[in-house]
Structures are given as structure tokens and as C-alpha cells.
Amino acid sequence: MPLPDTMFCAQQIHIPPELPDILKQFTKAAIRTQPADVLQWSAGYFSALSRGDPLPVKDRIEMPVATQKTDTGLTQGLLKVLHKQCSHQQYVDLADLEQKWKNLCLPIEKFRAIVDLDPCEDKMEWMKFLALGCSTLGGSINTAMKHICEILTADPEGGPARVPFETFSCVYRYLSKLEGTVPPAEMESYLATLKETVDKRKNGMIALSDFFITKRKV
């Protein structure tokens, strides 16, 4: 005989005290991130939460939100999420990075296209992947460097977007060499001009305004 339906009263149901806050934070994160596949993203979210890893969550909603129906879905905000998850290590395991990419509901074809720009086997230097990702967002190397600065900076949104000059120069050299359109001598001359500006400030930081002002002069 089938068992009768079990009856519960309110006193018998135990709700973990932390559950409401977990669900509240999850809902806020989903709204900010606007994942294309909520189930895929949710799996990555709770997996990261259980391990104590950085969560796959945007700082804010990006408008308009890119969708895979119209483009690759990759945005500066999503690259910043990956940076939070990966920047603690110099080299990232490509299999782990690919899973993080999938958890953000991004097409795997785009991931492989980025890796193929500078092929490697099992691991890739994180800053190189980030630079390549920024370069694929469209526009010139100047646009890519703008994305880099805005992702790496500790300044609040809308601020000067300052980053260490050494980091800036390494990324600029890397992208310039891959692009191959700027002669090495011209590239080094440009960076030397930028460094003069940075040295006057004596903090080792370059701001976006330095970058674009100098670009107009050279």
C-alpha cells in the first residue's frame, strides 16, 4: 500500500538561518550579472560560493546587455569578473579557465579563438589572456588599453583609472607586437614619453588621461 502523504506543521520545518541571506545575495547577483543561462551560471555561482572562491558576479549591470543572439556576449564587465577569479595566479590552467568561461554563459568558440591568438598548451599567463580578451572587444589597441586600465584599476568607477606603469607598458608591448602595426622603435619612444609623465608624479602610476593626451601628441 502506498504510504500516506506526510503532513508537516510549521514547527516541524527547520529553515537554516543563513538561507534567506544566501538567496537574497544570489538574487542580487543574478540581476547585476544578467546571465544568458541562469542554470549554468547558478551552478558556477554556488560552486564558487561553497569553495570560498571569488563569485562570477558583475559589479553592476552593463547596459545594453550583450546577448549571444547578436554577438559573442563578451563584455568588459565579464572580463573583470574573470580577472577577480584568476588574477591571484600568474598562470591559469586553461581547463579551469574554460570552465569559468562556461559558467559566465559565454560561447566556447570565442574562448578558443582568444587562446588561438597566442597558442599555448595547458597553461596561459593570465595577463596575456586578459589583454587578448580586451583586444577582441573591438576597436584599436587604444580601446583595448582603455579596457585594461578600467579593469585593473583600484580607483572608483569614473575616476582616473590609474594602473602601475610597469603593468601598462608590458601589456602595451605585448599587444603591439601581436598586432604588428607599430614599429618597435616608435612603440618604445611612445612608452618613454609616457614614463616621463609618470616619473614626474613619483607614484609609478599611469592614468587614462596620460595615455590619451600623449597619444594625441605622438
**Do 122 and 28 belong to one domain?**
yes
In a domain, 65, yes or no: yes
Question: Which tens digits make up the pLDDT trace of 2-53?
Answer: 555 665 666 678 888 999 999 999 999 999 999 999 999 999 999 999 999 9
User: According to the model, what pLDDT value does residue 134 have?
Assistant: 96
Pair 86, 149 in one domain: no
Residues 115 and 189 in one domain: no
Between residues 1 and 143, which one has the greater pLDDT? 143
Q: How many CA within 13 A on the CB side of residue 188? A: 3
Measured CA to CA, the distance from residue 147 to residue 100 in angstroms comes to: 20
Last residue of a domain, one of 126, 158, 183: 126
Residue-level pLDDT at 140: 86
Beta-carbon count within 10 A of 90 CB:
10
Residue whose C-alpha is closest to residue 84's, from 111, 61, 54, 116? 54
In the numeric block, which cell numbers belong to residue 198? 609618470
Q: Are residues 23 and 61 in the same domain?
A: yes
Residues written for the chain: 218
| Average pLDDT for the chain | 88
Backbone angles phi, psi at 92, to 5 degrees: -110, 145
Domain with 38 in it:
19-126
- pLDDT mean over 156-171: 94
Co-location of 183 and 120 in the same domain: no
Q: Whole-angstrom Cα distance, residue 165 to residue 150?
A: 14
Residues contacting 131, CB < 8 A, separation 6+: 144, 148, 171, 174, 175
What's the mean pLDDT in 60-67?
65
Q: What distance lies between CA 150 and its chain's CA centroid?
A: 10
What DSSP designation does 55 have? P
Residue at a domain's end among 126, 147, 167? 126
**Residue 113 shares a structural domain with residue 197:** no
pLDDT at position 73 is: 87
- Looking at the domain assignment, is residue 88 inside a domain? yes
**Confidence (pLDDT) at 69:** 42
Residue 48 in domain: yes
pTM (2 decimals)? 0.86
Residue 1 pLDDT > 80, yes or no?
Answer: no
